[in-house]
């Protein structure tokens, strides 16, 4: 999984990105991955973000991870998800320019899942993957009507996001996402990263 870190022009200044390329590109899509909360140590180097990139690479998709504003070499300051949606759209626009005419897969973990869920339509995503969406930490009741193929992966032992709140929220969406429940996984999927990867790969391969 070759890595290629660089900066592109972002809405708050330079936006740090990193391409992870598959060994065998399928030519059938490109993925953008959003990292967890910037004020709690979240960055594109997060292990869950990395495993999501790896899963996308296994599906033959180049994966673009990036640092939200104020993280790493990305300019700007934390903007509670508003400016971060602009950062995500900039990353998606770059991915589309690099791989024109193919479907866009948009994934996010925790805070990054919130950003992707709130901005998928503006980003014109074709597929959506949400890992541990923080529905017990933010008011996400207004996120609905997700008409593209959508996978939600949640750990049953999540110590940060209430798993039952995620279960109820997912079931009440119209249409509801495909849900993969990992009973033994905590929020950061320690010891469960391969199970997370497998869940994403199996769902993605069926699309």
Q: Give me the residue spans of the domains in the chain.
A: 2-205
**The pLDDT of residue 5:** 77
- Helices assigned H by DSSP within 7-77: 47-58
Alpha carbon 73 to its chain's center:
20
Q: Spell out the per-residue pLDDT of the chain, length 207, in tens.
A: 455 679 999 999 999 999 999 999 999 999 999 999 999 999 999 999 999 999 999 999 999 999 999 999 999 999 999 999 999 999 999 999 999 999 999 999 999 999 999 999 999 999 999 999 999 999 999 999 999 999 999 999 999 999 999 999 999 999 999 999 999 999 999 999 999 999 999 999 999
Query: What is the SS3 assignment for 178?
Result: strand
The fold of the 2-205 domain, in CATH, is Rossmann fold (3.40.50)
Q: From residue 197, give the alpha-carbon distance in Å to each of 38, 85, 155, 194, 203.
A: 23, 25, 13, 5, 10
């Amino acid at each position: 999984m070759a890595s290629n870190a660089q900066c592109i022009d972002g809405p708050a200044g330079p936006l740090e990105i990193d391409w992870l390329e598959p060994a065998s590109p399928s030519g059938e899509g490109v993925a953008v991955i959003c990292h967890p909360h910037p004020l709690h140590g979240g960055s594109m180097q997060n292990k869950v973000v990395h495993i999501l990139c790896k899963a996308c690479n296994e599906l033959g998709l180049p994966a673009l991870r990036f640092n939200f504003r104020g993280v790493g070499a990305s300019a700007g300051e934390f903007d509670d998800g508003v400016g971060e949606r602009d950062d995500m759209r900039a990353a998606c626009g770059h991915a589309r320019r690099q791989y024109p005419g193919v479907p866009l897969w948009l994934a996010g973990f925790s805070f990054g899942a919130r950003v992707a869920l709130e901005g998928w339509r503006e980003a014109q995503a074709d597929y959506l993957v949400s890992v541990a969406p923080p529905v017990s930490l933010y008011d996400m009741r207004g996120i609905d009507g997700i008409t593209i193929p959508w996978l939600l992966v949640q750990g049953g032992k999540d110590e940060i996001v209430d798993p039952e709140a995620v279960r109820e929220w997912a079931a009440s969406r119209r249409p509801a996402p495909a849900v993969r429940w990992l009973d033994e996984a905590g929020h950061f999927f320690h010891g469960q990263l391969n199970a997370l990867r497998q869940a994403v790969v199996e769902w993605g391969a069926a699309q």
